[in-house]
Amino acid sequence: MSPIVLWVGGLMLAAAALLIVVRIERGPSMLDRTIGLDMLVSVVVAALALWSGATGRTDLVNVLVVLTLVGFVGSVTLARFVAVEPEDEGRILTPEEVRAHDDRMRAAIAKESKRRVGGREDAMRRAYPEDEDPR
């Protein structure tokens, strides 16, 4: 196989992977990211096939078998355990928000442990009532 095919195909796959990573970062929900990861698996499968065809490495075929067989497990698991998540939950937080989050948590734990010893879990539950399973 000519190196032109390897280069053209490889560049297309790299661009595809980049776009998928952008989609995974944007979300907005966990399921969108799951789809992105599924697509990333199929890009990896195509890349392995391309590499195997270009170099004649036949051992990579076994990797393809395993990837296509178990690639779905992750997304099924995620889809099974995705509960009703709040609209804002799927976003990646900015550094300020992360700091505010940490401060809120630390304050809640400090307040609670002053009141009684060993109340860490209760404090978290009181600080984040929405974290409880809505079912």
Partner 1 sequence: MSPLEWLASVCFILGCSLNLIAAIGALRFPDLLARMHAATKPQVLGLILTMAGLAASLGSSQLTWKLLIVVLFQFMTAPVSAHMVGRSGYRTGKVRDEDLVVDELTEDLRRVQQADTQPPTS
d(CA 76, CA 74): 6
- Quote the CA–CA distance of 17 and 11 in Å, as a whole number: 10
The single-letter code of the amino acid at 85 is: E
Contact 116, 56 (CB under 8 A): no
| Joined tokens for residue 38 | 């599924």
Map the footprint of partner 1 across residues 61-120, applying CB under 8 A.
Answer: 61, 64-65, 68-69, 71-72, 75-76, 78-80, 82-85
7 makes contact with partner 1 (CB under 8 A): no
- Smallest distance, partner 1 to C-beta of residue 109, A: 31
Integer-rounded Cα radius of gyration of the chain: 22
Phi, psi of 89 (to 5 degrees): -70, -30
131 lies in the binding site for partner 1 (CB under 8 A): no
> 76 or 98: whose CB is closer to partner 1?
76
Q: Does 36 bind partner 1 (CB under 8 A)?
A: yes
Question: How remote is the C-alpha of 88 from its chain's centroid?
Answer: 17
* Residue numbers at the binding site for partner 1 (CB under 8 A): 1-2, 5, 8-10, 12-13, 15-17, 19-20, 22-23, 29, 31-32, 34-36, 38-39, 42-43, 45-46, 49-50, 52-54, 56, 58, 61, 64-65, 68-69, 71-72, 75-76, 78-80, 82-85
